[in-house]
């Protein structure tokens, strides 16, 4: 049997990463001979771990927390969407040597929304948060033909900087939480890290209408995230967490590496089934 092509995800912590099972399933589904490993790598060991991976013949790499910004700096070439996002989650080994850095998070979000039947064209969006996660999604959302994108963040300056970064792509309206009263949005995306501390962002109930869609970039296979719970209580039409985005960004990375698009649906269904998600995926 020919040797499998080597891929990996680096991050810290990495023990609970779903990427190995997702890529293993994609490889089986598409008949690709590859090995995908999870490696515990922190910021201080990234450079040497990457060099070792190259020496082993590594063909492609995913980077997750806390390495996405460092991977952005270490990439030899960046795709336009990665350059603006300031973060790289996918590295592709180039035939001539060196790494091409891309960011598949935003396109993963858009693909998951589309797959769930959410049309972005013409919608008024609210992004909650202005950190790394928000930076990764602005450009693909803007390119999906939305009517407008507003950003609300606890620290206004950070949202202003985000708007400046993307001004050539789209006009982002910067808001404080206090300015949300009386405003209504069609799609609300939680890009804060608040789920990690078990909280939902402080949004007024009135910023949803009966057809509004809420999407949390965070996910939890065991229970609905606080934002999904909040959205459901407010009567949002759909409230989704980020498990679909996780699978879709992996599929996009797989496509960049192997030139073949896996079907995300069975993988997503099996993850949700295995986790017995209590939260509604669509509902
Ligand atoms: P990530 O890479 O996950 O986006 P980050 O870059 O640290 O992480 O950004 C975290 C985001 O969550 C920021 O928008 C942050 O708001 P600030 O810019 O004001 O820090 C937001 N966030 C984190 N804790 C928050 C809290 N307690 N209340 C409101 N927003 C919070």
pLDDT tens column, 41-69 = 999 999 999 999 999 999 999 999 999 99
pLDDT tier for residue 281 given thresholds of 50, 70 and 90: low
- Residue 68 annotated in active site: yes
Going from the Cα of 128 to the center of ligand 1, the distance in angstroms, rounded, reads 9
CA atoms of 166 and 142, how far apart (whole Å): 10
Q: Is the peptide bond before 66 cis (omega within 30 degrees of 0)?
A: yes
DSSP-based three-state secondary structure for 54: helix
Give the bridge partners for 78, in sequence order.
101
Tell me the backbone φ, ψ of residue 176, rounded to 5 degrees.
-90, 160
pLDDT value at 278 more than 80: no
Going from the Cα of 212 to the center of ligand 1, the distance in angstroms, rounded, reads 23
CB 154 less than 6 A from any atom of ligand 1: yes
Minimum-distance ligand 1 atom for the alpha carbon of 193: 12
pLDDT value at 74 more than 80: yes
Mean pLDDT of 265-272: 94
pLDDT value at 174 more than 70: yes
Which run of H or of E encompasses 99? strand 99-102
Residue 184: how many CB atoms within 10 A of its CB? Answer: 13
CA–centroid distance for 218 within its chain? 9
CA atoms of 109 and 101, how far apart (whole Å): 18
Give Cβ neighbours of residue 203 (< 8 Å, ≥ 6 apart).
128, 177, 180, 188, 230
DSSP-based three-state secondary structure for 247: helix
CB 155 less than 6 A from any atom of ligand 1: yes
pLDDT tens readout for residues 150-167: 999 999 999 999 999 999
In angstroms and rounded to an integer, the radius of gyration of the C-alpha atoms of the chain is 19
The token duo for 196 is 């990690």
């Amino acid at each position: 049997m020919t040797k499998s092509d080597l891929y990996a995800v680096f991050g810290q912590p990495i023990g609970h990463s779903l990427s190995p099972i997702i890529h293993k399933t994609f490889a089986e589904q598409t008949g690709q001979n590859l090995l995908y490993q999870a490696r515990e790598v922190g910021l201080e060991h990234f450079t040497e771990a990457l060099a070792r991976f190259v020496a082993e013949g590594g063909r492609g790499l995913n980077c997750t927390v806390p390495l996405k910004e460092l991977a952005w700096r270490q990439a030899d070439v960046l795709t336009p969407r990665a350059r603006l996002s300031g973060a790289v989650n996918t590295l592709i080994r180039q035939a001539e040597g060196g790494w091409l850095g891309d960011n598949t998070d935003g396109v993963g979000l858009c693909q998951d929304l589309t797959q769930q039947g959410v049309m972005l064209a013409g919608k008024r969006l609210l992004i909650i948060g202005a950190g790394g996660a928000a930076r990764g999604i602005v450009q693909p959302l803007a390119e999906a033909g939305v009517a407008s994108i507003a950003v609300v963040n606890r620290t206004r300056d950070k949202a202003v900087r985000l708007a400046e970064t993307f001004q050539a792509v789209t006009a982002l309206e910067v808001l404080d939480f206090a300015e949300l009263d009386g405003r209504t949005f069609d799609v609300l995306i939680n890009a804060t890290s608040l789920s990690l501390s078990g909280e939902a962002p402080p949004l007024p109930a009135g910023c949803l209408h009966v057809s509004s869609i809420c999407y949390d970039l965070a996910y939890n296979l065991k229970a609905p995230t606080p934002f999904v719970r909040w959205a459901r209580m407010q009567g949002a039409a759909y409230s989704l967490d980020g498990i679909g985005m996780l699978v879709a960004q992996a599929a996009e990375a797989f496509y960049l590496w192997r030139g073949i698009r896996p079907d995300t649906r069975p993988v997503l269904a099996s993850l949700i089934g295995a986790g017995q998600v209590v939260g509604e995926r669509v509902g």
